[in-house]
Structure 1
Amino acid sequence: MTRRGGSDLERLTGVRSGKSTFYREYRGAAERLERVVHALDTISRALVRTVEGPEALVLAVAEAVRLHLEAQWVLFALADGELPEAEPRHLVVDAQGHPYAYEGLRGGDPPPEDMPAVVINRLNDILRGEFDFLARPVVDPHHAHVPIDLGGGVVGAFAAWTPPRRRLDATDESVMRILAGQTAVALQNSALFQSRQVLLERAESSYAAASAQADQLAARNAELVETQWRLGLATRRKIVDDERHRIARELHDSVTQCVLSAGMQIEVCRSGIPDAERGERLDLAKTLTRSAVEQLRSAIYALDHKGESERSGLAEMLRQLCTVHMPSDLRVQLRMTGAAADLPRDVEHALLRIAGEALFNASMHGGATRAIVRVDQRADGVTLAVSDDGTGDPAALRLRLRIAQAGDLDVHHRGLANMQARAQELGGTLAVRRARIGGVRVAVAIPLPVREDADPGAAEPPAPGPGRSADPARGERGPA
């Protein structure tokens, strides 16, 4: 005895008993079994295409249904919102196996105009999820409808319409139910597989991009290390060059002047001058030579003991420069105006070297016999002006300065360039004009930082008046 309705196996084979007297049933069962085996083989071939993607899977399943039922029309559709990752959402296959779809199918044509209305209406019902009358399998002689169940709910359906010569039975219903159930699982697996493939491709692409970026960063890091090494080497070379130029400038502005002055005195002694004057000039040359040696020793000592030497005021150093270190045939006047406050050491040093170079040039190159050194010190800056009555040409000196800015000069023309460099290093300016006493006037203006304890009004310079110039670079306005 079997229960009413029978099992899927009974429906597939039609066998209710294993007795040999049921030959007719065995014969019919054999035919149905052969058809079922063929159908299951077709279904299995369709379902193994999961890895090819949902579209290939749906096309293969629809084709399997068409071949098994010899259907004129086969419909597959998923309700809106169900299995959102599955594509295509619906599919219609005609008797020749040609697929049609309204959207979502690559290579599928729009449905033809002669498509039966029952097919289109069924498609719309499934898409809208109207399963009230379609939630259970329906098998008529020439029409079959099987819902697609997943997780206890209906997500879509299969439907087929056959010609008059092909009648449907319970076997076909069982085949379609098996196909529908396996299709739902296969669709979900296919969608998951495709999404994992996309994630894998993205991960591989990200890994390749990260590897390429790591290689680029490694290359950039190597370039940065090399650049840092080159920069360090260039910095060290610049420090050495700056120190070399500083030492050369110090020797030029101190020792060289004394040696050249001593040489001038000895040259004068070679001419026909009285013996008494010759002795005085030789003594002066001896003094200048000793001074050059002392200055050379002082420079060497300063290189080893920077900032440890005793300090004298700017006025005292300029007074010694004007009275002791200048030739006797050059009369130098020193005029100090403004506040008598201590200046920064680097400013005092620069002013002293600039004054010495200007006086030396006036005596040696300009043939001057008179010079005036004027220092005007304010709270916000200090001005040094050296005027002479020599034969120097201010225009030629300014041209030499421009040439010095464009390129290096030879050792015989470093004086002006050194003066300008000293002023610029302190944020100041140097100007060369015609002096009112006939020769050249070299003026240097160097700004000073305003001290917090200084009187705010002291930083304001007085208004120009008689005997005073508003701009040190414009020329003398007094006795000079």
Structure 2
Amino acid sequence: MVEAAAEHLSADWVLFALADGALPDADPRELVLGPGGEARPVSATLPELVRVHLDGTRAGLLVEHDHGHGDGPGPTHHVHVPVELDGGVVGAFVAWTPERRAIDGTDLSVLRILASQTAVALQNSALYQRSRSLLVSSERAYEQSRQHAGDLAVRNAELEATQRQLGVAHRREVLDSERHRIARELHDSVTQCVLSAGMQVEVCRSELARDGRGVDERLVERLGVAKDLTRRAVEQLRSAIYALNHGDDAGRSSLPEMLEQLCTVHMPDELQVLLRVEGNPCELPSGVEHALLRIAGEALFNTAVHGHASRAVVRLAFHPGDVVLSVADDGDGDPARLRTVLRLAAASDLDGRHRGLANMQARARELGGTLEVRRARLGGVRVAARVPLDQAARA
């Protein structure tokens, strides 16, 4: 624009300057062309009138001047046009022309147009530079956000892995606790009873041998068989107790795998237990898995000790809104009597014989679920715990 003004006016000197504080992002803020169109740095030695107008424009003295003459040396014939933007004056164009070059209204109009275009160009340049700066800042912020998101994803993956490991450890602790509980039950009750029975058989044999009158040899033989059977039963119980106290389930982590291991914990030779998993197994909250393992353990213990069953089926069914765990057997249990026990449990405490059934119901209710006792298709009792997944997660 400055070169166009110099060429149009055949000017010796052309000055463009912005007032201090106007368009703070604009660059350059001053430009001086000398004779021959050569750009002069504002720090160089300039004619006095050019320097006066430069300093006045910087200071905000932006009144438009008509062309005039000066008395001193240097350029004297000049025209001063303000640079306007948004209704305000932000700078000025000043041109000095030779004596032979008269300045008319057309020249002033051209100079005002160049001044206006210069103001718009400077503002657009400032806006562009600001936009580029914002773009760079945005790209930097986006890159930082992306890095933070990546870091969070890694941390979340580590947290999920830790939670899975804690869940595995928690389930293993539940299984070990159940195994040791059953081992104690077998050692403190069943084994002692079998040992007592064997001792009574031996006492009877001794009494018969001492009496010696009319002893039925077949009776003595049967007592010997009974003694051998009790001895073998004690050996089997001790083997089972050892296996319960030294179980190897380190490689098991999911709920179906832990249930499969739990089924083998309750295995006398005369009881066969089958595990069935239905639906798509999913990761459950540790509290839900803990409760389901406890319920399965109590139900299988009742089947093995009290139900006189030969077969049992443990079924774990995954549904979109809930998970159902059931234990069914072919024993001689009475579902109606067990339901009565559960109703009485809400009103009064129960003896140790039925405390396990009440505990199963309490565990299911703590997770917002239910416990049902019905007749099983196998002929015995079917205990089923239904746990809604949304309420279980909140619990």
TM-score normalized by the length of structure 1: 0.36
Structure of higher CA gyration radius: 1
Higher relative contact order (CA 8 A, sep 6+): 2
